[in-house]
Amino acid sequence: MHRIFRLAHTILSVYYAYMLEYRAELLFWVLSGSLPIILMGIWTQAAQSGQFGLGAIDFARYFIAVFMVRQFTVVWVIWEFEREIVEGKLSFRLLQPLNPFWHHFASHFAERFARLPFAFGLLALFFWLYPNAFWIPSFGNLSRFAIAIILAFTLRFLMQYTLAMFAFWIERASALEQFSFLFYLFLSGMIAPLEQFPPFMREIVLWTPFPYLIYFPASLLVGLPVDFGRGLLVILGWSTGFFLICRWLWQKGLRQYSGMGA
Amino acid sequence: MSAIVVENLSKVYPVAVKEPGLKGTVQHFFHRTYREVKAVQAISFEIEPGEVVGFLGANGAGKTTTLKMLTGLIHPSSGRVNVAGYTPFQRKTGFLQKITLVMGQKQQLIWDLPALDSLRINAAVYNIPDRQFQQQVDELTEMLALAGKLTQPVRKLSLGERMKAELLAALVHRPQVLFLDEPTLGLDVNAQVSVREFLREYNQRYGATVLLTSHYMADITALCQRVLVIHEGQLIYDGSLEGLVDRFAPCREVKVELAQPYPPEKLALYAELEAIEGQIVRFLVPQEILTRTVAKILTDLDVIDLAVTEPPIEEVIGRVLKAGLVV
């Protein structure tokens, strides 16, 4: 246990230092996630007509929550893993008695701490510009959000890491991620809250992993009604599924690995 | 028990074949054809603990593929490997704790951070207690003359310093078996010498087993008593360095300084003439008639000075690698 704690502490502190090397880049990375703010403008305008069930303020809160959820859950592991395979850098990781998964997970986790101060800064700026949209979530909602956001990040990471395993066979596995991003974009609630979907479609979508990556935690934060228990079960179910597939692909992939360029 | 045992080890890769030009590109897109490349073919050898062995071969001969199989990075197509009592490809923790691989053209240190940060990660990954880690780093820093360099970002280090820091990172868990793939690649002569000296000292101090590939023959002659030569995936020589020279360079060069010039046709009667520069003549003499020939030259000719030398080792090995001379 002591070993795991020391390992986690060391890796997180070094990767945090690594991320802080990119001071200017961090701000741009945060800004690059501002699609929800643009969509917010569109939806709040549309809500003036009054035919969407949610008011302009609700939309503003929802999309600012989406922006924050994206900041907590952004994942790029597939590009890093692909590069490690193509350039043979995975070799160094394989020589060490620690699954490379943990290096990637830790670097993403540490990056959150480097990124969030910028994100909170933008949040403060937003509420200063639109004080009407300001709200304070209840303690209960905030607690449920905290659990949901950790699980959402884990699920998103596992999903992308599983796709990354295909780099053992096809080298440009990021193409798979770009394809799946289409589903992520439309089904996760990033473009529109799930309330805007037709009911039968919404019911189907709620069994896929996508809404739990954005819609679920964002709704908890703004107080939209969601089934928390069912949400947790679906997330855990998908996470377990992806974890098992990922492990299987890892074992198969290692036999395929040729340590290119190294 | 041997530190490394290799029996009939082979590796076959499928490689996609593409014809040049647009037609070839279209064909390659719709119908990919592969051919099998036999990178390593049924090689066998054993290395005892504490031995330093040079692994020689031209580019593409199969050296790196063999090292990858020995370190568990890739799975052999057939054959058996045992390193430090383990089967490498299983990548058991005990195995990974005992080995290291240094690749001259690759780096494991985090580019934007001081090397010490990467070393701290390694210490935690290999579960080295803090005090022991500090001791190890101090000792290796001294051996590698890296004082004050470990707190600078890696990108600010010179190539030589970076390679030494890479060595430090690769050895901080004090492995027993070292696989070194071109550890002095691209370094200047001074840096090459200091890396070489460090490796010798590490081997002597810790009794580590070393398998080393290098294109710099000076690395091999300075460090290795034994060499393995691989050609087109096959092991063609396993023995001492001197043995390699004896076997593949059966001639010696005899350089004679004469008191007076002699006509070349007369000199050619003694042995094959390599060069004549005024009164200095160089003969190439087969080893089996060396004593007789030298005696004859000394008796017949008016000699001021005579020296017998071996041809340069680079030349011998170059000849072996090029021709793939099979023993």
CB count in 10 Å sphere of residue A39: 18
Of B229, B191, B257, B205, nearest in space to B316 by CA: B229
Classify B251-309 by CATH class.
alpha beta
- A135 CA: distance to closest CA in chain B (Å): 41
Going from N- to C-terminal start, the domains of chain A cover 34-91+120-259
A55-82 pLDDT, tens per residue?
788 888 999 999 999 999 999 999 999 9
Over residues A117-142, the mean pLDDT reads 89
The answer to whether the CB atoms of B97 and A257 lie below 8 A apart is: no
Give contacts of B127 with chain A, Cβ < 8 Å: 3, 7
Could you tell me which residues of chain B have a Cβ less than 8 Å from any Cβ in chain A? 13, 64, 68, 71-75, 91, 93, 96-97, 99-101, 103, 105-106, 108, 110, 112-113, 117-118, 120-127
Check B113 against A21: CB less than 8 A apart.
yes
Question: Which of B42, B44, B35, B45 is CA-nearest to residue B78?
Answer: B42
A45 touches chain B (CB under 8 A): no
Condensed to tens digits (0 to 9), the pLDDT of residues A164-204 reads: 999 999 878 999 999 999 999 999 999 888 888 888 999 99
The answer, yes or no, to whether residue A251 has pLDDT greater than 50, is yes
Beta bridge partners of B294: none
Please give the interface size between A and B, counted as residue pairs whose CB atoms are below 8 Å apart: 69
CA distance, residue A255 to nearest chain B CA (Å): 6
Least confident of A38-42, A69-73, B43-47: A38-42
Q: Give the start-to-end residue ranges of the domains of chain B.
A: 4-245, 251-309
Determine whether the interchain pair A89/B112 forms a contact, defined as Cβ–Cβ distance below 8 Å.
Answer: no
CB contact under 8 A, B125 and A96: yes
Residue A221: φ, ψ to 5°: -70, -40
List of residues 6+ apart from B65 with CB closer than 8 A:
B11, B39, B40, B74
Going by C-alpha positions, the residue among B88, B85, B43, B96 that lies closest to residue B68 is B88
Q: How open is the CA angle A261-B106-B61, to the nearest 5 degrees?
A: 45
The residue type at B50: G
Alpha helices, DSSP H, located in chain B: 21-30, 63-70, 93-98, 115-125, 130-143, 159-171, 189-206, 217-223, 241-248, 264-267, 290-300, 313-323
Q: Identify residue A10 by its one-letter amino acid code.
A: T
Q: Residue B75: its chain A contacts at CB < 8 A? A: 254-255
Q: What is the ipTM of this complex?
A: 0.83
Among B125, B127, B180, the residue to mutate for chain A (most A Cβ within 10 A): B125
pLDDT tens readout for residues B98-117 = 999 998 878 889 888 999 99
Residue predicted with more confidence, B192 or B72 = B72
Indicate the pLDDT class of residue A261, thresholds 50, 70 and 90: low
Nearest to A95 among B13, B101, B123 (CB): B101
Long-range CB pairs of A183-190 (<8 Å, 24+ gap) are A183/A208, A183/A210, A184/A210, A184/A213, A187/A211, A188/A213, A188/A214, A188/A215, A189/A66, A189/A214, A189/A215, A189/A216, A189/A218, A189/A219, A190/A35, A190/A36, A190/A39, A190/A66, A190/A70, A190/A214
Q: Mutation test of the interface with chain B: which of A23, A91, A93, A99, choosing the one with the most B Cβ atoms within 10 A?
A: A91
Lowest mean per-residue pLDDT among A27-36, A64-73, A113-122 = A27-36
Q: Choose the closest CB to A95 out of B96, B113, B118.
A: B96
Distance from CA of B285 to the nearest CA of A (A): 43
Q: Does A257 touch chain B (CB under 8 A)?
A: yes
**pLDDT of res. B324:** 62
Mean residue pLDDT across chain A: 90
Neighbours of A101 (CB within 10 A): 18
**Amino acid at residue number A199:** P
Mutation target vs B (from A4, A22, A94; most B CBs, 10 A cutoff): A94
CB atoms within 10 A of CB A112: 16
What pLDDT was estimated at residue B269?
A: 87
**CB neighbours of A106 closer than 8 A, spacing ≥ 6?**
A8, A11, A12, A15
DSSP A226: -
pLDDT value at B327 more than 50: no
Find chain A residues with C-beta within 8 A of B64's C-beta: 262
Task: Provide, as residue numbers in chain A, all residues whose Cβ is less than 8 Å from the Cβ of B121.
Answer: 10-11, 14
The chain B residue lying nearest A100, using CA atoms, is B125
Q: What percent of chain A has pLDDT over 70?
A: 98
Provide the edge-to-edge strand list for the sheet that holds B303-309: B272-277, B280-286, B251-258, B303-309
Q: Look at the domain B4-245 and name its fold.
A: Rossmann fold (3.40.50)
Residue B326 is predicted with a pLDDT of: 47
* Chain B nearest-CA residue for A97: B93
* Mean pLDDT across chain B: 88
Beta bridge partners of B306: B256
Closest chain A C-alpha to B103 CA, distance in angstroms: 7
Supply the pTM of this predicted model: 0.84
**Quick one: CA torsion of B58, B59, B65, B71, rounded to 10 degrees?**
80
